[in-house]
Amino acid sequence: MTKLKSVFENKKAFIAFVVAGDPDFAACADNIVALAEAGADLVEIGIPFSDPVADGPVIQAADLRAFAAGLTTAKVFELVAEVRKRSQVPLVFLTYCNLVYQYGYDEFFTHCAELAISGAIIPDLPLEERDEVKPIAEAHGCQIIPLVTPTTPPDRIAKIVADVDGFIYVVSSMGITGTRDTINTDLDQLIANIRKYTTTPTAIGFGIHTPEQAAQMGAIADGIIVGSAIVDIISQYGHEAPAHLQAYVKAMQAALPA
């Protein structure tokens, strides 16, 4: 069993997302540790990018704050090293293909291995080009986490989830990230389509931000991913965010089905 799969063992997983370096280096490290201490099962760290095609305004604004604070991809690894002094919480990156390519695939995933980064979500890495990255990542113990959307045809789902050994990121709604008051996608059917081809755990993201939604989505999938709501708390409270993040995580965890 991979480290990522173990996150989902015998429980519903709560996955928290932050933007690396938001609002600054030290505060971001504090926030990640606070999320872990509050019970986040996995923390997804977004590497700021100039053209984040999957991200809505809340996360884009966080990217800009991180850039203003001087964050670079190299500093992201320094940030994780700082977190690792204080927490062994499972971590994955959300990044974009150009960043990994520019850094160098082997060097990027070598650093991931050194810092126990268990996976990478790369929204702009299509299935047809995944084999350029996946073998290198897996050689360093890092799983490439694919995304399945509400419009992905079943025959393509079969190919996307083949030989995936971390988890499947299930996109709840079409469009970009951001909180949503209602999620109207037939996620039961989407998860059922995925289940035809794999037993790899599924986690639903995009839009989830209330305990009620956590309960609803947690009943369908093996875990939930919360991003914009957490980034918004960081935006609101700045260096006072850790206590607010911990209260939020505990409320969301309590809402997940047993």
Q: Any idea which residue has 């204080």 for tokens?
A: 86
Q: Are the CB atoms for 43 and 1 separated by under 8 Å?
A: no
- Please name which of 221, 208, 223 lies closest in space to residue 178, comparing C-alpha atoms: 208
Q: Is 196 helix (H, G, I), strand (E, B) or coil?
A: coil
Could you tell me which residues are beta bridge partners of residue 18? 45
Q: Pairing between strand 117-121 and 143-145?
A: parallel
Which residues in 67-92 are b (16+ Cβ under 10 Å) and which e? eebebebebbbbbbebbbeebebbbb
Residues catalogued as catalytic = 44, 55
- Please name which of 145, 146, 67 lies closest in space to residue 112, comparing C-alpha atoms: 145
- Please name which of 252, 255, 247, 173 lies closest in space to residue 215, comparing C-alpha atoms: 255
DSSP-assigned states of every residue in 83-135 = HHTT----EEEE--HHHHHHH-HHHHHHHHHHTTEEEEE-TT--GGGGGGTHH
